[in-house]
């Protein structure tokens, strides 16, 4: 692994809903099979009890391996659930104030769609990373894709790490590898019987 120190790192995004008892061993298998840098708990809804149960299960697996866990949106739950940070899906909105509140040690990531402007705003507000998505064809949302030119410009001009996510394929991973710092995988693998087996060919272009 030391022969490719600059290759992008791997980031996992959980399903929007899952049974913690079923998901935890699947997650553990992936974490043990490949070097994952971060996991995002991305549950839909606002049932705090359900989110807390899921967070406990995921945190147990990640922290046992010294892997960071961030939660999607739920800023108030970061400290309460013993998490490492938060992912803000709406870019820089409220980020600067949040950075002041949470301090420098808490991870704050920002999802910025395919918008260069939103990415710059998030970086200037103190984001630890910016995520552009989708990079692949999803058939969802506005249809706007984060293309390679956006990542190439970012990697040349901005120091804040950039995450590529959304409908990733081996070809997209290979194309974006020189200009992305992280690749985030979620829906691409969790619907499969063996998520680790599904992830391996996706990251093969990176040499993992």
**All structural domains of the chain with their residue ranges:** 9-206
State pLDDT tens for residues 117-141: 999 999 999 999 999 999 998 766 6
Average pLDDT for 144-169: 96
Is residue 4's pLDDT more than 50?
Answer: no
Q: What is the DSSP string of 133-174?
A: ---S--S-TT-----HHHHHHHHHH--S-EEEESS--HHHHH
What is the structure's pLDDT at 144? 84
Task: Using DSSP bridges, classify how beta strands 36-41 and 107-111 pair: parallel, antiparallel or unpaired.
Answer: unpaired
pLDDT at 3 over 90: no
Tell me what the pLDDT averaged over the chain comes to: 94
Tell me phi and psi for residue 129, to 5 degrees.
-155, 160
What are residue 129's DSSP bridge partners? 109
Average pLDDT value for residue range 45-66:
95
Instruction: Give the per-residue pLDDT at 140.
Output: 61
For residue 134, is the peptide bond before it cis, meaning its omega torsion is within 30 degrees of 0? yes
CATH code reported for the domain at 9-206: 3.20.20.70
Contact call for residues 62 and 107 (beta carbons, < 8 A)? no
Per-residue tokens: 185: 């995988």
Quick check: 87 and 73 in contact, CB under 8 A? yes
């Amino acid at each position: 692994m030391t022969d490719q120190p600059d290759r992008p790192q791997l980031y996992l995004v959980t399903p929007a809903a899952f049974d913690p008892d079923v998901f935890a061993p699947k997650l553990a298998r992936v974490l043990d099979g490949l070097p994952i840098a971060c996991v995002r708990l991305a549950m839909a809804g606002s049932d705090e009890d359900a989110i807390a149960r899921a967070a406990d299960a995921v945190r147990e697996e990640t922290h046992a391996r010294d892997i960071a866990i961030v939660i999607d949106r739920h800023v108030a739950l970061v400290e309460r659930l013993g998490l490492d940070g938060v992912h803000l899906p709406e870019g820089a909105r409220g980020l600067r104030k949040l950075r002041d509140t949470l301090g420098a040690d808490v991870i704050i990531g920002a999802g910025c769609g395919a918008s260069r402007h939103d990415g710059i705003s998030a970086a200037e507000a103190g984001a630890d990373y910016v995520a552009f998505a989708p990079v692949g064809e999803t058939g969802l949302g506005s249809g706007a894709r984060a293309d390679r030119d956006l990542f190439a410009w970012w990697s040349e001009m901005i120091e804040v790490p950039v995450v590529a996510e959304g409908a990733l394929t081996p070809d997209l991973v290979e194309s974006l590898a020189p200009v992305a710092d992280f690749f985030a995988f979620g829906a691409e693998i969790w619907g499969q019987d063996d998520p680790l087996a599904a992830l391996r060919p996706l990251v093969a272009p990176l040499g993992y």
